[in-house]
């Protein structure tokens, strides 16, 4: 029994070492990849303002719709029971 437990402890130490070595290897690999291929901002989407000026909308339609739906779900009200009149961007 004692021999088996000692063998199990040895296996555990060996296995934990292997796991740490492998995952450390992966850390370096990831860091290398991230350094090699840095993140680049995707090209900015064409401004909605142009469309807004032609259609006469405020350009916040999508945001207003999303916020209205979220608020309606949160407050337990119907979307037509309240109105968003102003959105301020910071």
37 binds other proteins (CB under 8 A): yes
Shortest distance, position 16 Cβ to other proteins, whole Å:
6
Alpha-carbon gap, residue 10 to 66, rounded angstroms: 57
33 binds other proteins (CB under 8 A): yes
Shortest distance, position 40 Cβ to other proteins, whole Å:
7
Shortest distance, position 32 Cβ to other proteins, whole Å:
9
């Amino acid at each position: 029994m004692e021999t088996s437990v000692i063998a199990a402890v040895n296996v555990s130490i060996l296995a934990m070492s292997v796991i740490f070595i492998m995952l450390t290897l992966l850390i370096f690999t990831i860091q290398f990849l991230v350094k090699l291929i840095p993140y680049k901002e995707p090209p900015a989407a064409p401004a909605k303002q142009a469309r807004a000026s032609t259609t006469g909308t405020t350009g916040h339609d999508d945001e207003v719709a999303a916020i209205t739906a979220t608020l309606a779900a949160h407050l337990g009200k119907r979307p037509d029971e309240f109105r968003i009149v102003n959105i301020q961007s910071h």
